[in-house]
Amino acid sequence: MTYKEYEEIIEKRMKAGRFKHSKNVAKEAVRLAKKYGADVQKAETAGILHDATKETPDSEQLELIERAGIVLTPLERSTRKLWHAISGAAFVQVELGITDEDIINSIRYHTTGRAGMSLLEKVIFIADFTSAERDYDGVDKMRKLADKDLDEAVLEGMSFTIADLAQRKLTIAPDTFMGYNDVSFKASLKEKKEKMRRNQL
Ligand code: DGI
Ligand code: FE
Ligand code: FE
């Protein structure tokens, strides 16, 4: 299927505002993919499709998840906000016939992130934070980081989400925590290495 065909499918599944968001995420994902060397076409596809089921009724989302053979953990089942990422990944497989694991995982983990994210997964995760219509406190910082270092942007995004959820006393998914630990650990190692290098000069 072509990008235009995906756009037509997505337009019918959601209100104008969210469709605009989806197109903006696709555009931003293309920009980041070019900058960091990810597959541009996959980035555009995952970008337009990432929120495919965000306005789909709960019962339909659960059905898609079942049809894709995905079993929700009790915590996933109890966190309604996380469903659309999982059912979105199911939708693109069972309804659109997408088989590319990287595209599927980019949609599956676009809300939580996870440990060991691929370049494409990071591109989609960040494009969702920095798409053109986003207007939250801190979006300027995120856009600057996204242009400077993709991993630093992922760390900032995860820390932002975890702080916000903890502040509101909401449940935090294990993938969110594991993703955060993964990127923060790698960032601290990188800093240690740089310190050692500076001391040797
Ligand atoms: O679908 P979008 O609105 O474009 O963005 P998204 O898929 O990143 O969803 C963002 C929402 O998901 C935001 O309200 C925070 C929430 N969220 C992200 N990670 C977790 C989470 N909510 C819970 N309860 N637990 C998480 O780990
Ligand atoms: Fe989403
Ligand atoms: Fe989104």
Q: Per-residue pLDDT tens for 46-62? A: 999 999 999 999 999 99
Q: How far apart are CA 201 and CA 60, in angstroms?
A: 61
- Ligand 1 center from residue 193 Cα (angstroms): 33
Residue 197 burial (CB count, 10 A): 9
In angstroms, what CA-CA distances link 30 with 36, 99, 159?
10, 20, 24
Place of tokens 């053979």: 69
**Closest C-alpha residue for ligand 1 atom 16:** 81
Is the CB of residue 18 less than 8 Å from the CB of residue 84?
no
Q: For ligand 1, say whether the CB of 76 is within 6 Å of any of its atoms.
A: no
- Ligand 1 center from residue 35 Cα (angstroms): 26
Task: Domain of residue 43: give its range.
Answer: 3-194
How many domains, in total, are found in the chain?
A: 1
> pTM for this structure?
0.95
Q: For ligand 1, say whether the CB of 62 is within 6 Å of any of its atoms.
A: no
The rounded Cα 178 to chain-centroid distance in angstroms is 15
Which atom number of ligand 1 is nearest to the Cα of residue 170?
24
Has residue 129 been placed in a domain? yes
Predicted local confidence at residue 200, as pLDDT = 86
- Ligand 2 center from residue 36 Cα (angstroms): 22
Has residue 8 been placed in a domain? yes
Instruction: Print pLDDT tens along the chain (201 aa).
Output: 999 999 999 999 999 999 999 999 999 999 999 999 999 999 999 999 999 999 999 999 999 999 999 999 999 999 999 999 999 999 999 999 999 999 999 999 999 999 999 999 999 999 999 999 999 999 999 999 999 999 999 999 999 999 999 999 999 999 999 999 999 999 999 999 999 999 987
Q: For ligand 1, say whether the CB of 22 is within 6 Å of any of its atoms.
A: no
Helix, strand or coil, per DSSP, at residue 46: helix
In angstroms, what CA-CA distances link 66 with 60, 75, 140?
10, 16, 39
Has residue 200 been placed in a domain? no
Has residue 15 been placed in a domain? yes
Q: For ligand 1, say whether the CB of 175 is within 6 Å of any of its atoms.
A: no
What's the token pair of residue 91? 């939708």
Q: How far apart are CA 70 and CA 160, in angstroms?
A: 28
Has residue 162 been placed in a domain? yes
Q: For ligand 1, say whether the CB of 172 is within 6 Å of any of its atoms.
A: yes
- Report pLDDT digits (tens) over 49-103: 999 999 999 999 999 999 999 999 999 999 999 999 999 999 999 999 999 999 9
Has residue 41 been placed in a domain? yes
Is the CB of residue 102 less than 8 Å from the CB of residue 119?
no
Has residue 177 been placed in a domain? yes
Has residue 199 been placed in a domain? no
Q: What CATH number is associated with residue 158?
A: 1.10.3210.10
